[in-house]
A and B are shown apart, each in its own frame.
Chain A
């Protein structure tokens, strides 16, 4: 039987890829033997030996490294979940504001989106941490009654105490992602024909109600997929928390790798933990998609 040319091409490619992978793995093996490291995951069960600045589950430096990684994974999850909520509020608000009737509000929202998207996120996080939160007075002060108390030791909201690091990451991620979500929302709103806006306005329905009941339900199928990719971006960007000293998954993995010298194994675990985070967000978005989008609109 005569093979087609494409078959041969594919076979050649298999050989090339396999050779390449083989060379890389061989190099790795040679290097691991040369340095006497080998591969081992025993260090996971040995005492971590480092403290974590914050933890939701009980944790001491004497606990195992695996436990430290789990605690840091929860820290990541906590800051990501809170940021997703805050970023969505900011983004939907700013996105709707860009299509508001008020020209000043439109300009202000445009300024927010334009400015935030031109400055690196890391720089913004450093700003929120070193300037905004560490710049607060050391004595707590309460701008709005007893609802919020602010100081450079921490932020209290309704009796809930948040660390400065957590607050900086939360605000930084939310403000940055909020600008991206605002663009997504604006695009979604623009996908709804102008006639729909004019129709509810001419019926005397007010702006908020019209947006909620007329425009958004039609815009959501366009918004949700892009929104979930913004949430995944937020999760990826949350790893920059290391720059402000928040004990997130990446920061603690980095510490564990430095302490044990187990770079390959630590990196694998980091990737797997991150995969778990991604799957969680994806699953959540699918549930949301099912609840929010009308069955007839689903594609």
Chain B
């Protein structure tokens, strides 16, 4: 047996050094060189970034009144500050590090602060939601939809696993139903049909209608992710908690959910990133968020044919925000993990 081993090994190595692999590498190198060359040529000769550089305020805050523009800009600045603080945590020495929980609460506080800054009130003049736009609106839509979708999704996930027949079926119907329809149909429902289901006196603005539609849609997906987390928790956890004399609600709140949510964090992060990307669909339904404002810019004769520059700029922005979200989620996850192990005395 041992005599044949070198022959096996030789063939295993041969697979790696096959001449075809070399040809393949050369073809890929040529392809990469061509892409780099044509991109560089376009950047030097063809590109005209005036559509981006002349409209930076529009991309950031949309058509927000000019003398009040500092408000959304301040909010964006605060968000950048929070992002930097969160991402730099591992580099800060221990006594100065902010506790993960405090950081999470600070993030949560960003939403009402943003709403207050944008809408006005408390001494600030009111600004109609019709004037909100750009990156600010994109982030606001994502934040509030996510905030509503999370508790709703958790409730749906618990309902789907409940012992009660009717709630279980209702939750299943909701989750499967919403996961079967396209998001744009749900958003269309939110914009055009939702008002028909509300009393005449109640009038809600377009941004709020969009948030409600996004939240109702995202909740179905959150529910499935949370259910995945719940399934990962062994039944012995429930039994142990019950043996300690905890009631059914206490078991869920103190034992099952904290563990299940921790398992679900990576999936939920993906949902949040998907939600941010999907807010671009509101451009079709007439909100001037990041993509919407770009569409109206490209309709301007001054920027005719500047699609590529605009789209590359937008892709870069979306990529940046998505990457920041993913990194921060990983950060919070790691901190949560370390604080969880700290809590258990060894």
Contacts and interface: CB of A to CB of B under 8 A. Distances in A.
A250 B185 contact: yes
A123 B311 contact: yes
Interface string B244-275: 00000000000000000000000000000100
A146 B9 CA distance: 47
A116 B163 CA distance: 42
Contacts of B182: 236-237, 239, 250, 274
Interface string A253-267: 010010000011001
B185 A240 contact: no
A254 B166 contact: no
Nearest to B164: A10
B323 A118 contact: yes
- Interface residues of B, dominant DSSP: helix
B192 interface: yes
Interface stretch (A126-134, A147-155, A219-227): A126-134
Contact of A6 (B164, B183, B198, B322): B164
Contact of A274 (B18, B180, B197): B180
B280 A123 contact: yes
Contact of B281 (A13, A127, A240): A240
Contacts of A34: 200
Given A237-B182, A270-B185, A122 B284 contact: yes
Interface string A27-50: 110111010000000000000000
A31 B196 contact: yes
Contacts, number: 139
Contact of A27 (B28, B198, B280, B298): B198
A139 interface: no
Nearest to A130: B307
B184 interface: yes
Interface of B: 8-9, 11-12, 14-16, 18, 21, 24-25, 28-29, 31-32, 163-167, 170, 180-185, 188-189, 192-193, 195-200, 273, 277-278, 280-281, 283-284, 291, 298, 307-308, 311, 314-315, 318-319, 322-323
Interface of A: 6, 9-10, 13-14, 17, 24, 27-28, 30-32, 34, 101-102, 104-105, 108, 115, 118-123, 126-127, 130-131, 135, 198, 201-204, 206-207, 232, 236-237, 239-240, 242-243, 250, 254, 257, 263-264, 267, 270-271, 274-275, 278
Given A105-B28, A131-B311, 16 more contacts: A24-B197, A28-B197, A101-B18, A108-B28, A119-B277, A119-B315, A123-B280, A127-B311, A130-B307, A131-B308, A203-B11, A206-B15, A237-B182, A263-B193, A267-B185, A278-B180
